[in-house]
Homo-oligomer: A and B are copies of this chain.
Amino acid sequence: MIPNAVLETINAHRQRYLDDLLDFLRIPSISTYSQNSPDIRNAAEWVLRQLKRLGFHASLRETERHPIIYGEMINDPSAPTLLVYGHYDVQPPEPLEEWTSPPFQPSLREGFVYARGATDDKGQFLTHLKAMEAIMEVEGKLPLNVKLLVEGEEEIASPSLKPYLEKHRLELGADAAVISDGSQFSSGIPAITYGLRGLTYFQVDVTGPRIDLHSGVFGGIVANPIQTVTQILARTKNEDGTIAIPGFYDDVIPLEEWERNEMASLPLDEESLKDYLGVGELTGEKGYSILERKTARPTLDINGIWGGFSGEGAKTVIPSRAGAKVSMRLVPNQKPAHIERLFRDFVMSLTPKDVKIQITTMHSAEPVLIGRDKPGILAAERAIEIGFGKRPVYLREGGSIPVVNWFKETLGIQTILLLGWGSPDDGAHSPNERFRLEDFQRGIRAAAALMYENLI
């Protein structure tokens, strides 16, 4: 249990920690733009200085693009080890004209700090450093071993991270990992994200005639690849919106009673959601709530389709080719490799002989479920109660987070704590991104408390 002195220290240094955050936010470490490479390096070195000041054994690790910072502080090899992940790069700030204050001149207004990176992820990540700073100040050492991994390519899909993890698998070994790069359920309702959907993503290419043909001359004797694509894809769903691929649901673990109760207890304003989406009504699988449908049930979406003439006016063409991108969100315990086999078999079984078809797997990610009974999860629950003064709710998320899969699959870490200190309306990736000063403070407290709880 965290000593009161640490909490008091965090409280006492509120302004100093904030000043450090403002300092960090002033560095325009946009990973997308090559002209910001010097800023990226500045941000990486800023983090490195912070770690060294804390007493970490830390260094910059060069990658093909932006450096990774790795640091460790091993107090007792027999104690549990926590891996803390964060990223120091930020999204491009455009459109600039929509910002009330400049994106890299942090502005304090109405209890928020406004700046690019405020919530994603500089503010959230920094809570862990400031938590350790307070602990070190009071106790002179951390109550467990900590490894820190901070990358500068998260906003460009982390191309260097996976190879880095593979290469440094042993060095990065840990009992649990913590990632604060998300959000609470809503401001004031802290959350632990214990489930993520997986993904499997395909491109389907259909070829009919050798060349584009005139539909007047050849209409009636050749297969039209657009029609084949639409006919196949239309068959992937049943009338009621469920997925018609045989065996698709076989490995789905049904939602447990407590999960459904937890989701049902969360406030969700259907009307304002519809307004935000601009739809007359929501759709989806019968028998499941909105939250269940968007986070804990598998889906199939056609993400793109193309073929033939799409310009203005009319062109009577039977195209040679058509194609589509199709993806499925998977839930525990569906396996992307198995679903791929089912999808391929299903599509092939529907493909007429008069066209050629090619199915390419573009991407896949395993769904994730961190057992609620894992000691690390219970530790996080207690830490959040201390930091936020409130029991966290348990959430699943509809998307996948690649780093979580890589930590599981490459590093073998089973307890991955997704503890978002931000709020869904912080505007990550949008103009006027912000972070609530109170959430920064609560996050530091929770991050510090976590280090004193039993992770294993």
Contact B219 A301 (CB under 8 A): yes
A224-B301, A302-B308 are known contacts; what are 8 more A-B pairs with Cβ within 8 Å? A210-B276, A219-B294, A219-B329, A234-B234, A283-B354, A303-B319, A306-B306, A313-B362
A interface residues (Cβ-Cβ under 8 A, vs B): 197, 199, 201, 208-211, 213-224, 226-227, 229-231, 233-235, 237, 273, 276-285, 290, 293-295, 297, 299, 301-310, 313-319, 322-325, 327, 329, 352-354, 362-363, 397-400
Residues on B with C-beta less than 8 A from A224 are 301-302
Contact A222 B282 (CB under 8 A): yes
Contact B210 A294 (CB under 8 A): no
From A201, A305, A324, name the one whose CB has the most chain B CB atoms within 10 angstroms: A305
Give the shortest distance, in Å, between A331 (CB) and chain B (any CB): 10
Give the shortest distance, in Å, between A308 (CB) and chain B (any CB): 4
Residues on B with C-beta less than 8 A from A222 are 277, 279, 282-283
Q: Please give me the residue from chain B that is nearest to A202 by CB atom.
A: B314
CA distance A220 to B422 in the complex (A): 24
Q: Please give me the residue from chain B that is nearest to A218 by CB atom.
A: B294
| Complex copy number for this chain | 2
CA distance A324 to B199 in the complex (A): 28
Residues on B with C-beta less than 8 A from A217 are 294, 398-399
Contact B220 A398 (CB under 8 A): yes
- A277-B222, A314-B327 are known contacts. Are A234 and B237 too (CB-CB below 8 A)? no
- A210-B278, A220-B299, A283-B354 are known contacts. Are A229 and B230 too (CB-CB below 8 A)? yes
Contact A303 B308 (CB under 8 A): yes
Contact B215 A281 (CB under 8 A): no
Give the shortest distance, in Å, between A291 (CB) and chain B (any CB): 9
Residues on B with C-beta less than 8 A from A327 are 215, 314, 316
Please give me the 9 A-B residue pairs with the lowest Cβ-Cβ distance, nearest first: A210-B278, A216-B399, A234-B234, A304-B308, A304-B309, A220-B293, A230-B230, A219-B299, A314-B362
From A211, A221, A352, A397, name the one whose CB has the most chain B CB atoms within 10 angstroms: A221
